[in-house]
Each structure stands twice: as C-alpha cells, then as structure tokens.
Amino acid sequence: MKKAVIILLILFFMFSFLSSAKADVGAIAEGSANVTPVNSTQITLTKENLEINFFYNNAGVDALFYMKNTGDKIDQKMGFPFGGNAGYPSYMAVYVNGEKLAESAITENDSNSEMWKIFTVPFGKNEEKTIRVKYTVQDLFAPTFTYLIKTGSTWKGSIGELNTTITLPDEAKPPFFLKAIPSGYSTKGKTIVYHLKNYEPNENILIEFLPLDFYKEMEKLRETAYKTNKPEDWYDYLKELLPLDIVGPYGSRNVHGYFVNEYKTDGYKNFVQSELKKGIDACKDTAYGKILNIAYAAHFDEEDTFISGVLVMKDFSNIENIFKDELENPKTKEVERVVAYYYWWKANALGGMAPKYESFNALAKFIKYAEKYILFDECRGINNVEIVAYSPFFSDCTPIFEEFIYPKEVSVTKDVSDKVRSVRFDFQLPHDALLEQYKRYMQDDAKKISSGISELTFDFESGDSHTFFMTCTVPQDNLALLESKIEKIPQILGTEHSPFYVYPKAFLEDLKENSLLTEFNVKNNRENAILQLEKAEEEIDGNVTDYWRRMEDGMYSNTYKGVIEIPIEYIERNKYFLKEVPDKIPIELIEEKKAFTNKVLFILITLIATVAILSAIFIERRKR
C-alpha cells in the first residue's frame, strides 16, 4: 500500500484500519514468566539461558534453567504462570536433564487465576539439574513483550547468571525498536541481549517495538520524507504516526493507532514528539505546518494528553482562524490538498455540535478535491475495502436537526404586576424513527441545565407521541440574571443549537423590555434552512454520484449506497418537516394572577351581599 497524496483521509483511514486488522507481529503480553516454585524452596537458580524469538504471528520461548538443591532430598513442585493477557501457550514441552516429561506429568492449577502449568522435579541432596521449558504463544496483537523475571526472586538467593537473547522480526534499532527495561542490554542486528550476574530481579524485562506491518508501511514514508524533505512527504509520514483524528485520542483495537494504548513506557511518545518537531521545521510556513502544529499542541502541550489528545471542537474555531480565506479559495496545490483534509475533518468532527448541513457541505467539498486528484483507484483489490471511512461521517448525523425545530405555540405567563414569570414552548416533532431517542436527549439536556445552572429552571414534559413542552421559569425581577444564565447553556450542552438555548434567547429582549410578542415569525429562517438542505443534497448527491459511477467493483457500489442514501433520506425528511411549519407561530398570554384577583373580588362581593341580607333580616325581626 502506498499513499500518494495526503488529502485523501478516507484512504488514510482505510490503510490505517487495514494495518490494524492485518495482525501485527506477535507479542507476549504480561504474564509470560520464568519457571517458579509453587511453595517455599531450598533450590537455587544458578543460571538461566533465555531465548525469545518473534515471528510474524507468534513468539517462541526457550528457557534453560540450571538449578541446585542446597538441602536434603526434595520433590520440588514448580510451574510456569501464563497470566495477564498471555493465555495458554499453543505448545509447551518440559525437559529435565534433557529428558522430556510426559504430558500427563504436567498438570494445570485450575484454582489459580494465573493459569499455571505445574510439574514436579525430584532433587537428591545437593543435586544439580537442568530444567528446560519450551513453549509458543500465539499473536496477541500487542507490540510489547514482558517477561516476568521478578518471579525469580522466589528461588533461594539471587539468580547467579541470566543470559537473555531476544530476536525481533526486524532490526533492533529505532524506530522499529523503541525501548527496553531494564538498562544494561546490547543490540546487534535483530537481537537484544542481556548478560546479568548475581541478579536480584526487582523489575521485569520489558521490550517495546512497532507492529511489523505498521513499521514497514511507515518506514517507506519516513525514508521518502527524509530524502526529499518536502512538506507534503513529511505530512504523509507524520500523520501515519498520529491517530486518525490527528488531534484526538489514539483508538482501541481495529482503529488506527490502537497499539499505542498497549505501551507501558514513553518510548513511542518520545519517538513521535521527536519526529513531529523535525516535520514541523520542514513544513514551516505551509498549510501542512499549521496542521502539524495543531497536532503537536494537542498531544504535547499538556502533561498527560499524548494518548487522549483533545476534543476537535475545543480548538475548532482556532483552526478556522488559522486557515481563513484559504479554506474557500486555496491559492496553491499544496494548500488545496491540505484544505481537503480540513473538510474531511470538519465533516467528521461536527457531529451534533453544529448544523448538520455544514457537515454535509464539508463532505461535498472534500469529495470535490478527492475527485480532482483521483486517488481511490489505488484501493482496488484491497481486502475489506467495503469498510471505508464513510461510516464516521454519518455515525453522528442522525439526530434531529435541532436548529430546525420550531415551537408550534408559545405561552407567556404574567403576574398581577405585569411581570413575565414563565415562557412555555410547545413543540411538534417530526415523524421520525428517532423520535423517542430525541425525547430522551431533551430530558437529559433539561437535567444537565437544571443541575448546572442555579435559579434557571427548564421543565420538560412529553405530550402525545410527537409533542413536548419546555417551560422556562423567569427569576423574580432579575431578567439580567436570566440572560447571564441562558448564555451558559451552550457550554453545558456543547452546542448553541439546542431548543433550550435558541428560543429563550430569541425571546430574551422582549422579556427584558416587559413587552409581549403577538407572533413569532419563522418564515425567513425556515426558508433559509430549506435552501441550505437543498444545497447540501445537491452537492453531496452530485459530487459523490459522479465519482462512484466510475467504480466498477460491486463492493464500491454497495459502499456508495451507505454513503448517499442515508443522508439524502435524512435531508428529505427534514425538508418535509420544515415545509409543514407555519410562517408565524402564535403567542398566548396567560394572566393567572389577574384571574385570581377577580376571584377574590367575586368572593368579597358575595360576602358583602350576604352580610347585607343578614342585616336586613335582623332589622326586620327587631321591628316585629
């Protein structure tokens, strides 16, 4: 696989996904260990020769132990633990003084969570014996190897001599070989060698390296970058070292960079940091350099953000400010290719954070550049090509268009002094399969606001199957406080497009002036929203369809359906809903306090009348 141009991040995702899925060179996870006594012992471990050989999809361990009994005759029970992520070995053989033990002599300790393979070796008084253990561990998709020599401290005394030879599947030098613990090793070719004497094992052997498939592809890009020193080649290389979202977190398994989470040292981190600095210098004053600087800040500006990165939207406005007019009008081919990456980034990152048509438009612009450079053709024939990076584009594009939901009616409640006390918005939701999910989002948002902002209450209740009511209670004589509280809602919810923010803000000025709108005009906003959706539909449908028509392989056409049909159907549903929204939304005035006053007046009049009648009756009786 070879990536010719940086902008095609879809291609980038495919390559990184496939690199992950291919199963990188095997590694033994923590849990592989030297032979260990099951209970207290009088046996010393005078010498250990350990060989570990890594192959493409497994690792072989060959350990030869020289042991001496320092006491009387004893039957010493011992075993190999295979805990942690190692699991059972696929093959294991034990030799005592060169003779292989029968399989029946090797038992399993089922009650031990570390999954020991146990066998018994008889020792005569002061007798010396050799124990040889050979086993194979299948690939665990983790480019790190831990050998638990700390268990050697359970033998009597120190380890007299420890000779360890670890053979990697490639050269034991950077960047393939990252780091080893403890220090004191030497390297030659593919081997890492330890010679330790009178060793008190207080730390385990830990070896970290790059996954072989990843390394081979990365090294091609690295050699090109170092040879040409061109910004585009450096960018091609460095984004291979970073997560799929270059400012975001390193992913889990089957996501680009999944193996990074397996490392226990800072070897890979230091390597990436060093290479990024070189690349930023080579890309100085270019669009590539701008993006790499952002990636560097995300992973290295703070102490513990190398793995986690930052949320894309956290610095999204800063990214837009950096590129400015270059986003709409790239002046050079180099910038144009990087801008295409930016649009991929925007389409993927916006999710629920901004109007969805912006994500669609960003995707359409990205496709336009991808079409111009025609790079998808390189992917033909690659396994799993149907699993392309289009799914992240729409994984978060299914919630309702929050900014396009309008209230069908608004009710304003005033007290007897003509002060606005609350505003209730009655919403009619579109007929959509995600309706109940959306209602849950609204309920969750209402709880977040109520717990995050004191003196500002949003009551949420469901009506029939397609309505909900949102009531904003206004603090008594403190509309300035209401304004400041409402402005905090986007921070709490992570969006400015929630109805909990849009509509209270729209009415705020009128509430502050103690006036009352007679109707809420939505015609212009609605028509603009429909135009935006139609534009997005046209751009996506046109650009992507033209491209995918040229693809001959059936799996591409299947992918195309997943790309196009869902967002187009989604846009159509929202356009239909928007066209059903009335041009003007009525506002009803409710004067509960005044109604209460009239009721009191009626009671008073009734009481007065009653008193008058009773007085008249009393006077009449006196006359008699």
Give the whole-number percent of the chain exceeding pLDDT 70. 52
Q: Which of 123-127, 367-371, 559-563 tops mean pLDDT?
A: 123-127
What is d(CA 322, CA 288) in angstroms, rounded to the nearest whole number?
12
Least confident of 236-245, 334-343, 492-501: 334-343
The more confident residue out of 562 and 307 is 307
**Same-domain status, 196 and 219:** no
The more confident residue out of 532 and 550 is 532
Does 260 score more than 80 pLDDT?
Answer: yes
Which pLDDT value is given to residue 439?
A: 67
Give the whole-number percent of the chain exceeding pLDDT 90. 10
- Cα 518-520-523 angle, rounded to 5 deg: 135
**Same-domain status, 360 and 434:** no
- Choosing from 522, 557, 577, the residue where a domain stops is 522
Contact 225, 175 (CB under 8 A): no
Least confident of 278-287, 479-488, 553-562: 553-562
Element (H, E) at 45: strand 43-54
Q: Does residue 570 belong to any structural domain of this protein? A: no
Residues 6+ positions from 622 with CB-CB distance below 8 Å: none
**What strand order describes the sheet that includes 107-108?**
36-37, 74-80, 117-123, 107-108
- Choosing from 183, 210, 237, the residue where a domain stops is 210
Which pLDDT value is given to residue 422?
A: 77
The more confident residue out of 63 and 578 is 63
The more confident residue out of 121 and 204 is 121
Which pLDDT value is given to residue 193?
A: 93
Query: What is the pLDDT confidence band of residue 246, given thresholds at 50, 70 and 90?
Result: confident
The more confident residue out of 526 and 172 is 172
**Same-domain status, 121 and 149:** yes
Q: Does residue 534 belong to any structural domain of this protein? A: no
Residues 6+ positions from 64 with CB-CB distance below 8 Å: 48, 49, 50, 130, 131, 132
Q: Beta 159-167 vs 43-54: how paired, if at all? A: parallel
**Same-domain status, 620 and 485:** no
Does 565 score more than 60 pLDDT?
Answer: no
Residues 6+ positions from 262 with CB-CB distance below 8 Å: 142, 143, 144
**Same-domain status, 178 and 309:** no
Does 4 score more than 50 pLDDT?
Answer: no
Does 235 score more than 80 pLDDT?
Answer: yes
**Same-domain status, 231 and 144:** no
**Same-domain status, 489 and 406:** yes
What pTM, to 2 d.p., does this model score?
0.53
What is d(CA 349, CA 397) in angstroms, rounded to the nearest whole number?
10
Does 470 score more than 70 pLDDT?
Answer: yes
Element (H, E) at 523: helix 523-548
Which pLDDT value is given to residue 12?
A: 28
Q: Does residue 104 belong to any structural domain of this protein? A: yes
The more confident residue out of 484 and 116 is 484
Contact 280, 238 (CB under 8 A): no
Domain interval for residue 620: 591-624
What is d(CA 369, CA 387) in angstroms, rounded to the nearest whole number?
21
The more confident residue out of 211 and 149 is 211
Q: Tell me the average pLDDT across 597-607.
A: 63
> CATH number, domain at 444?
3.30.70
Query: What is the pLDDT confidence band of residue 106, given thresholds at 50, 70 and 90?
Result: confident
Which pLDDT value is given to residue 520?
A: 63
The more confident residue out of 457 and 190 is 190
The more confident residue out of 152 and 125 is 125
Q: Which of 57-66, 270-279, 431-440, 607-616 tops mean pLDDT?
A: 270-279
Which pLDDT value is given to residue 514?
A: 54
Query: What is the pLDDT confidence band of residue 601, given thresholds at 50, 70 and 90?
Result: low
Q: Does residue 531 belong to any structural domain of this protein? A: no
**Same-domain status, 67 and 14:** no
Q: What is the pLDDT of residues 580-595, one digit of tens each?
A: 667 777 777 777 644 4
**Same-domain status, 250 and 186:** no
Q: Tell me the average pLDDT across 276-289.
A: 88
Q: Does residue 275 belong to any structural domain of this protein? A: yes
Does 239 score more than 80 pLDDT?
Answer: yes
Q: Tell me the average pLDDT across 165-176.
A: 90
Contact 132, 63 (CB under 8 A): yes
Indicate the average pLDDT of the chain.
Answer: 69
The more confident residue out of 510 and 618 is 618
Q: Does residue 545 belong to any structural domain of this protein? A: no
Q: What is the pLDDT of residues 360-417, one digit of tens each?
A: 566 666 666 655 544 333 333 222 222 222 223 333 333 334 445 667 777 878 777 7
**Same-domain status, 252 and 157:** no
Q: What is the pLDDT of residues 11-29, one digit of tens each?
A: 222 223 222 222 222 223 3
Number of domains into which the chain is organized: 4
Least confident of 9-13, 488-492, 513-517, 539-543: 9-13
Query: What is the pLDDT confidence band of residue 279, given thresholds at 50, 70 and 90?
Result: very high
Residue that the structure tokens 């299914």 belong to: 398
Q: What is the DSSP letter of 30?
A: B
From the number of C-beta atoms within 10 Å of its C-beta (0-12, 13-18, 19+), residue 297 rates as middle
Q: Tell me the average pLDDT across 469-488.
A: 73
DSSP bridge partners of 461: 469
Q: Does residue 230 belong to any structural domain of this protein? A: yes
The more confident residue out of 253 and 150 is 150
What is d(CA 332, CA 334) in angstroms, rounded to the nearest whole number?
5
Does 67 score more than 60 pLDDT?
Answer: yes
> CATH number, domain at 120?
2.60.40.3680
Q: Does residue 537 belong to any structural domain of this protein? A: no
**Same-domain status, 201 and 225:** no
- Choosing from 179, 210, 241, the residue where a domain stops is 210
What is d(CA 331, CA 334) in angstroms, rounded to the nearest whole number?
8
Least confident of 138-147, 367-376, 448-457, 501-510: 367-376
Which pLDDT value is given to residue 190?
A: 92
**Same-domain status, 235 and 369:** yes
